[in-house]
Chains A and B, each alone.
Chain A
Amino acid sequence: MSSGPGVPTDGTGVGDADRTSRSDGSTLVLGDGDIARALTRIAHEILERNRGAADVVLLGIPTRGLPLARRLGERLAAAEPGIDAARIIGSLDVTMHRDDLHRQPTRAIGATVLPPGGIDDKVVVLVDDVLFSGRTIRAALDAISDLGRPSAVQLAVLVDRGHRELPIRADYVGKNLPTSANERVRVLVSEIDGEDAVTIQGGHR
C-alpha cells in the first residue's frame, strides 16, 4: 500500500469500527483489534518503503507515541531477521522546541533517549499517536536537527485527523479520521491507559 495522503479520505483498508457509545459519552472509532492490525500494516509498509529495516530507527514522541514505537519495533523484528527491537527504538521529547508553550500551563519535560547506534545517517521514523496541526512534528524536526543528521525522516501516526496548520504530512497512517475542530480525539494504549482504543467526543456525531 502506498503511504497515506495529506488530505484525509475515508477508510484506508481498515474496517469501520462499530461506532459504539462508551460510558463517558464518547464514540469508539478503533478497537484493540483494529489498532493491532493497523500497526502490523504500518510495520510492513515501513519495511517495504525502506527495503528492510537495516538503517531504520523508530523515535516515539512521549507520551503515547512511545509505546506505539515499541510495538512497531517488535513487529519489525518479527518480520525481518537480524533486527533487535531494543536497538532500534528510542524516545524524542519535543517540549523544549515547541512554539506554543505560552498557550498552555507549563508542560512536564519527557525523556529523550536515542538508540545505541545514534541517528546519524539513519532513516528516522517518528512515531506519534495523533497528527493534528503538525506543530508537534515541526518541533520534532527541530529537536532532531540538534541531535544529529539522519539521512531521512519519515512520520508514522496511528490517527490523522486533518486540520494541518503547517505543510506536514504523514508517511504511514493507521486511520484517516475526518473531524471538526471542536471534536476531541483520544488514543488510549494499554501500557498507560489499560486498554487500546481510539475514541472521539464532542461535535455532532
Chain B
Amino acid sequence: MRHLLSAADLDRPTAIQVLDTAAQMAATQAREIKKLPTLRGKTVVNLFFEDSTRTRISFETAAKRLSADVINFAAKGSSVSKGESLKDTAQTLQAMGADAVVIRHPASGAPHSLAYCGWVDTSVINAGDGTHQHPTQALLDAFTIRRHLSPGGVRRVGADGDQGVGGGLDGLRVAIIGDILHSRVARSNVQLLSMLGAEVTLVGPPTLVPIGVEAWPCRTSYDLDGVLATGPDAVMMLRVQRERMGAGGGGFFPSPAEYMHFYGLDARRIARLPEHSIVMHPGPMNRGLEISADAADSPRSVIVEQVANGVAVRMAVLYLVLAGVPTGGAVPAAGSADAKGAAR
C-alpha cells in the first residue's frame, strides 16, 4: 500500500489486513512499554491545512509509538490564499526527507494532487480532504464495530474474547445519521463498511442528503425513528454545524430545535435500541444538538474507545505504508511472502 487516499483504494482483503494489524497494535498499547522500534529512522510529516488537534495528535502518537520521527507542519491555507501554495509546501517537505505525509486539507482532492502530480514522491495518507474522504476514520470505525459486534449482531464479551480478527462486518446493520452532504466521514464509511459486508442506512434531512446518493451502496431514509425501529447494530452520529442553519451557511434546516427533534439522538431514542447496539461519533460532538449528553455518556457509547482505536489503526496504516520502504527511498518490487533467501 503506497498511498491511502480513500476508502475506495482498499479491497476487502487489504481492509481486513489493516484491521488485523490494528488489533496487534492495540495489543502492544496495552503493555507497559508501548513503544516499538519498527519505523525507527522514518520521518512522518503531519501536514495540516485545517485545524484539527485530535486527528493530528492521534497520528503523531501513532508515529511516535513506532519510533518514527514526527514533524508537524500547520499551514494556514484558505482556498483564496496563494501565499503558501500546496505545491510549494509539498516540495519543502520533500527536501526535509519525509517518508510519509499525513495531510488534512479543506479542498477535496488535495491529497490526490499531492500523490499524483509529481511534486513529491513520498507516500501520502489522507487525514481528511474537504467533503471527500477520511479513510482512517472509517477504518477505526470499522475496527470498533468489529471489536464489539460479531456477524449476526451479537455483542462480543470482554476484552479477552475473540475480537473478530480475520473477519469482516458481514450481516451487521449500521445507521449513519446527520449531515451526509458535507461529510467525508459518511462517504468513507459507506464505502468501507459495505465492502466489509455491512448494510448501511443513511439518515438525514433531505437538504443534507446529496444528489447522486442513489448510486452509493447503501439505503437512505429521512425518518430516524423508523430506522431505529429496525434495530440497527451500530448507530453513528455525525456532527452537524450550527452555521449551516443560517442563510449565510446555506439555510439547510430551520433551527437547532427542529433538527434535534427529528434527527437528534437522545435518551428516549437510545432506549428503543436493542440491547447490544453501540453508539458512535467521530467527534467533536455538539452535545445537545445531534447527540444529547445522556446518549453520549450512556453505557452503549463507544465514543471514547474510538479515539484509542484511532491510534492503533493509524499505527497499522503507518506500518503497512512505511515498513516495506527503505528510508527515504522507493518501494521495492512486490514478491511472495516467502522471499527466497529471507534471513532468519
Mark A residues whose CB is within 8 Å of B. 93, 95-98, 100-112, 128, 130-133, 135-136, 142, 146-147, 165, 181-182, 184
Contacts and interface: CB of A to CB of B under 8 A. Distances in A.
Interface centre among A109, A128, A142 (most CB of B within 10 A): A109
Contacts of B334: 105
Contact of B36 (A97, A104, A128): A97
Interface stretch (B53-61, B104-112, B324-332): B324-332
B268 to A, nearest CB: 43
Contacts of B21: 108-109
Contact of A106 (B37, B319, B327, B344): B319
Interface stretch (B26-34, B90-98, B125-133, B228-236): B26-34
A104 B342 contact: yes
B320 interface: yes
A96 B343 contact: no
B24 A109 contact: yes
Contacts of A105: 324, 332, 334-335, 337, 339
A106 B320 contact: yes
A100 B343 contact: yes
A106 B337 CA distance: 8
A107 B322 CA distance: 11
B323 interface: yes
Given A101-B323, A102-B327, A102-B332, A131 B344 contact: yes
A146 B343 contact: no
Given A96-B28, A105-B334, A109-B24, A130 B323 contact: no
Interface centre among A110, A130, A131, A184 (most CB of B within 10 A): A184
B57 to A, nearest CB: 22
Contacts of B320: 106
A93 B33 CA distance: 15
A103 B17 CA distance: 20
A8 to B, nearest CB: 14
Contact of A102 (B27, B35, B325, B337): B325
Given A97-B38, A104-B324, A107-B337, A112 B342 contact: no
A79 B321 CA distance: 47
A127 to B, nearest CB: 13
Contacts of A111: 24, 27
A132 B343 contact: yes
Contact of A165 (B332, B341, B343): B343
Nearest to A143: B36
B20 interface: yes
A101 B324 contact: yes
B17 A108 contact: yes
B33 to A, nearest CB: 4
A182 B24 CA distance: 33
A101 B38 CA distance: 8
Interface string B1-29: 10000000000000001001100110110
B340 interface: yes
A128 B21 CA distance: 22
A110 B25 CA distance: 10
Contacts of A133: 343-344
Nearest to B327: A102
A182 B341 contact: yes
A110 B24 CA distance: 7
Interface string B199-210: 000000000000
Contacts of B17: 108
Given A104-B324, A105-B335, A147 B31 contact: yes
A111 B319 CA distance: 16
Instruction: Pick the 3 closest A-B CB pairs, nearest first.
Output: A132-B344, A133-B343, A106-B324
Given A101-B324, A102-B325, A106-B320, A142 B343 contact: no
Nearest to B321: A106
Contacts of A101: 38, 323-324
Nearest to A106: B324
Contacts of B25: 109
B20 A108 contact: yes
A103 B38 contact: no
A107 B320 CA distance: 8
A93 B23 CA distance: 13
Nearest to B333: A105
Nearest to A202: B340
